């Protein structure tokens, strides 16, 4: 016995007919947003999966698994919203899916910049030069780099990070290679 109307034994297709009788299907209008949503969902699920063995704690007494679990859930939420907004409903069914325009420069520059930042921090070059290299390197991922804005951004973000992490929280980061 089937639970679907008309006695169908499988799921009905995901398409409807509009008022003119044409078949209407959801279609991806922005592939970059779609894949960004998929990436956020995967990254959030990975964060939740990897933090499953840590004690969760509570909001007042957070355990080591609290922050990555919540951050993973927030990432999944962002992924669902961004991925969902990439769709549009359109009546034309003949158009095949395409990859759209992809910029491979950010895919290469951003991970390389993060790796360089990690190496500089591990080599104890200092928090300030490492962070300036990170921000400047991330700006290089864009094809139109505005150097004045990049330098100002790196100076002010680095100053804010030093104020928050070194002086505010008191994390023991070495600010420069010559400082203690």
Residue boundaries of the structural domains of the chain: 16-90, 104-168
- Lowest average pLDDT, out of 3-17, 66-80, 82-96, 161-175, goes to 3-17
Q: Are strands 23-28 and 87-90 parallel, antiparallel or unpaired?
A: antiparallel
Reported as a single tens digit per residue, the pLDDT across 96-137 is: 555 556 678 888 999 999 999 999 999 989 999 999 999 999
Assign 4 a pLDDT band (cuts: 50, 70, 90). very low
DSSP 128: H
Instruction: Count CB atoms within 10 A of the CB of residue 65.
Output: 17
The pLDDT of residue 71: 93
The answer, yes or no, to whether residue 64 has pLDDT greater than 60, is yes
Residue 40 CB burial class (10 angstroms; 0-12, 13-18, ≥19)? buried
Backbone phi, then psi, for 57, in 5-degree steps? Answer: 75, -155
Determine the 3-state secondary structure of 117 from DSSP: helix
Q: Are the beta carbons of 143 and 103 closer than 8 angstroms? A: yes
Q: Rounded to 10 degrees, what is the CA torsion of 38, 43, 102, 143?
A: 140
- Calpha distance 153→131 (Å, rounded): 11
Put simply, whether the predicted model's pTM sits higher than 0.75 gets the answer no
Reported as a single tens digit per residue, the pLDDT across 164-179 is: 998 998 888 889 988 8
pLDDT, average across residues 137-152: 91
Assign 2 a pLDDT band (cuts: 50, 70, 90). very low
């Amino acid at each position: 016995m089937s639970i679907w109307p008309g006695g169908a034994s499988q799921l009905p297709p995901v398409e409807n007919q509009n008022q003119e009788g044409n078949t209407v299907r959801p279609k991806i209008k922005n592939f970059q947003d779609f894949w960004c949503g998929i990436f956020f969902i995967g990254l959030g699920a990975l964060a939740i999966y990897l933090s499953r063995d840590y004690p969760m704690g509570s909001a007042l007494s957070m355990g080591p698994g609290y922050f990555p679990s919540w951050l993973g859930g927030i990432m999944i939420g962002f992924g669902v919203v961004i991925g969902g907004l990439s769709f549009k409903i359109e009546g034309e069914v003949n158009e095949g899916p395409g990859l759209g325009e992809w910029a491979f420069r950010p895919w290469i520059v951003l991970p390389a910049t993060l790796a360089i930042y990690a190496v500089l921090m591990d080599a104890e070059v200092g928090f300030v030069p490492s962070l300036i290299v990170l921000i400047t390197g991330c700006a290089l991922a864009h094809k139109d780099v505005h150097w004045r804005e990049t330098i100002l951004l790196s100076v002010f973000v680095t100053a804010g990070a030093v104020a928050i992490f070194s002086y505010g929280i008191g994390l023991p980061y070495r600010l420069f290679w010559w400082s203690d």
